Copies of this chain bind each other. A is one copy, B any other.
Amino acid sequence: MANNKFSDHAVKVFKALADPTRYQIVTLVLERGEMGCMDFDKEFRSTKSALSHHYRILENADLIITRKEGQHVFVSLNMEVLNKYLPGFKKTHLNKT
């Protein structure tokens, strides 16, 4: 978390979700739970490098948590932050066309 002012962090969270790939990452992890961080490159067209950059942005917004297990990195959501800025996100954004 870079900044502690509510509105600054809020804008950062919106920025993090203001990209189709990152929005999809968040909704997929929300649906499936913790995922291997590079599983996504099969699901969407995105290189591993691009994904890595996207993770950094989600992480800087404090929306995701990454955990390293051996060679692999796993991504999960920081529900505390998601609920702080986007309460009801799961209900509203999951399983929508």
Interface residues of A (CB under 8 A from B): 5-8, 10-11, 14-15, 17-20, 23-24, 27, 84-88, 91-93, 96-97
Taking a contact as CB atoms under 8 Å apart, the answer to whether A93 and B10 are in contact is yes
Bound-complex Cα distance A96 to B7 (A):
7
A-B contact pairs, 5 of them (CB 8 A): A11-B18, A11-B20, A14-B23, A85-B93, A87-B92
CB distance from A14 to the nearest CB of B (A): 4
CA distance A96 to B97 in the complex (A): 33
Copies of the chain in the assembly: 2
Task: Give chain B residues whose Cβ lies under 8 Å from the Cβ of A23.
Answer: 7, 10-11, 14
B contact residues around A86 at 8 Å (CB): 86, 92
Q: Is the CB of B20 within 8 A of A18?
A: no
Chain B residues, Cβ within 8 Å of A85? 92-93
The distance in angstroms between the C-alpha atoms of A87 and B94, with both chains bound, is 14
A9–B20 Cα distance when bound, in Å, is 10
